[in-house]
A and B are shown apart, each in its own frame.
Chain A
Amino acid sequence: MLEFNKNDFKVFGEMAEEDLDARLRFVDFTPEDFTRLIEIKDEVLDHLDEHLAAFFEHLGRFEKARGLIGSVSLLQEATQLQREHLIAMVGGDYGIHYVAQQFQLGQIYNRAQLDMGLYMGAFHAMLSGIAQRISARFPGDSSVALAHYRSFKKVAFFDLAIVVDGIVADREQTIRRQQEAIRELSTPTLQVRERLLILPIIGLLDSHRAKQLTDTLLQAIRAHRAKVVVVDMTGVSTVDSKVANHLIQTVEAARLMGAAAIITGLSADVAQSLVTLGVDLGRLNTMGDLQGGIEKAEQLLGYAERSTERTGHLAD
């Protein structure tokens, strides 16, 4: 049966158990509904295949459902879960397990890239079939049949909300993953020599990214056993005082870990605005460009200086 990890669920839905009561209240689910559901239980259970067929046949009529109908494994999984769920809908237990099941169903449909509107349509088709069965159960007494159908509909809407949540949570997770990837891409650390790291920063430096920069840098110092780090800011067009202070703190933290940091490539605008802001960058080791920074770093690391080559060229 269904394996359900509560932690996963929290990550996806951030729904707590007390939330469930609220959700049942949202659809105005009462004890009377509960008894009515028990009464019509057989109308659903005895015709399970018929109801499921209504759902999937409806989907099959549309090109947009191809992702689901075309994949045997997904379709099987979805049919199985949808069946279990239909049974649970009239089971009377709408606890966390029930929600998890429906939530999972939502995620499968999302993976199959099922259009949400189409899902609603198919769900409605299934409900219509069930409604017919219910009205057949109470011949001649349409108000009773309606009351029973209404009870069932409450559960159905309770479900829909969860499925939508499942789909949204799945998409949000994708977005989070992508954001994470972008963030990782945005602060690479490059080792150019034994114990020498370069950290090129490109683009906008906000305080969130500055914090991430600190983390990346300190972890990289540990991982590469770096002694000198050159932070190249050539690609940074603006720096505010908060970020500047963060930069200073990063350099201090690097020193505590035994690594010297050199800041290079501060543009004229950035330099001027830092001076205007009155940020004390006096303690920072700064060099004009990346080349100068690397030369300085090699000096610190005890490599032979290569600047002689350069002076030779200048003499020519």
Chain B
Amino acid sequence: MSVPILKQGDVLIASVQAALTDHDLLQLKDEMAHKVGQFRTRGVIIDVTALDVMDSFATRTLRNLAATTHLRGAETIIVGIQPDVAVSLVQLGLTLEGVATALDLEEGLAWLAQPRAA
């Protein structure tokens, strides 16, 4: 199942609804990298509220996605990581370093709305 990407002002929102295959993830990354330039996007939100499992490939892909969009001028924030997922990620040492995280979509939008020095 591919992930729909919604445009809301200058923010792109990808809301993950079901478990993703590696292929879906790569597709999301490619599509996002492409769309960030297309819409002159300032921020990207990946909503993973519906995910109850995240593996190393998923976290690595999301980190790459964040790095890519950063190079294209948009900040990425991952929102809605569930408590259980957070614990297992930390136990696996997958701490998504360098990627912003927030509680939910609302928080993510608020974070992106803040003026940033960099």
What mask results when residues 78 to 108 of chain B are scored 1 for a CB within 8 Å of chain A, else 0? 0101010111011100011000011110010
- Bound form: Cα–Cα A214–B85 in Å: 12
The answer, among B89, B96, B103, for a CB contact under 8 Å with A259, is: B103
A258 and B103 in contact (CB under 8 A), knowing A218-B83, A219-B83, A222-B83? yes
Chain B contacts for A256, CB-based, 8 A = 81, 85-86, 89-90, 95-96, 101
How many residues of B are counted as interface, with CB atoms below 8 angstroms from the partner's CB atoms?
A: 16
Tally of chain A residues near chain B (CB < 8 A): 19
* Residues of chain B lying within 8 A (CB to CB) of residue A215: 83, 87
* Docked pose: A250 CA to B87 CA in angstroms: 7
Q: Which residue of B lies closest to A254 (CB)?
A: B86
Could you mark each residue 225-259 of chain A with 1 if its beta carbon is under 8 Å from any beta carbon of chain B, else 0? 11100000000000000000000011011111111
Q: Is the interface of A mostly helix, strand, loop or mixed?
A: helix
Q: Which residue of the partner chain, among B79, B86, B95, B107, contacts A218 with CB atoms under 8 Å?
A: B86
**A221 interface residue per 8 A CB criterion:** yes
Contact between chains at B83 and A249 (CB < 8 Å): no
- Taking a contact as CB atoms under 8 Å apart, the answer to whether A218 and B87 are in contact is yes
Number of A-B contacts (CB under 8 A): 52
A254 to B79, CA, bound (A): 12
| Complex CA distance for A256 and B95, rounded to whole angstroms | 7
> Does B79 lie within 8 Å of A249, measured CB to CB?
no
Tell me how far the C-beta of B44 lies from the nearest C-beta in chain A, rounded to whole angstroms.
15
Q: Which of A206-228 contact B (CB under 8 A)?
A: 214-215, 218-219, 221-222, 225-227
CA A221 to CA B83, docked complex, whole Å: 9
The chain B residue sitting closest to A217, CB to CB, is B83
Please, which residues of chain B bring their CB within 8 A of the CB of A252?
Answer: 90, 95
> Which residue on chain B has the smallest CB distance to residue A258?
B102
Residues of A within 8 A of B104 (CB): 225, 258
* CB-defined contacts of B90 to chain A, threshold 8 Å: 249-250, 252-253, 256
Chain B residues closer than 8 Å to A227, beta-carbon distance: 103, 107
Q: Which 6 A-B pairs have the closest CB atoms?
A: A218-B83, A258-B102, A253-B86, A258-B103, A256-B86, A249-B90
Chain A residues with CB under 8 Å of chain B are 214-215, 218-219, 221-222, 225-227, 249-250, 252-259
Q: List 26 A-B contacts (CB under 8 A).
A: A214-B87, A215-B87, A218-B83, A218-B86, A218-B87, A219-B83, A221-B103, A222-B83, A222-B103, A225-B107, A227-B103, A227-B107, A249-B87, A249-B91, A253-B89, A255-B101, A256-B90, A256-B95, A256-B96, A256-B101, A257-B83, A257-B86, A257-B103, A258-B81, A258-B101, A258-B103
Contacts A227-B103, A256-B89 known; list 6 others, CB within 8 Å: A226-B103, A250-B90, A255-B101, A256-B90, A256-B101, A258-B79
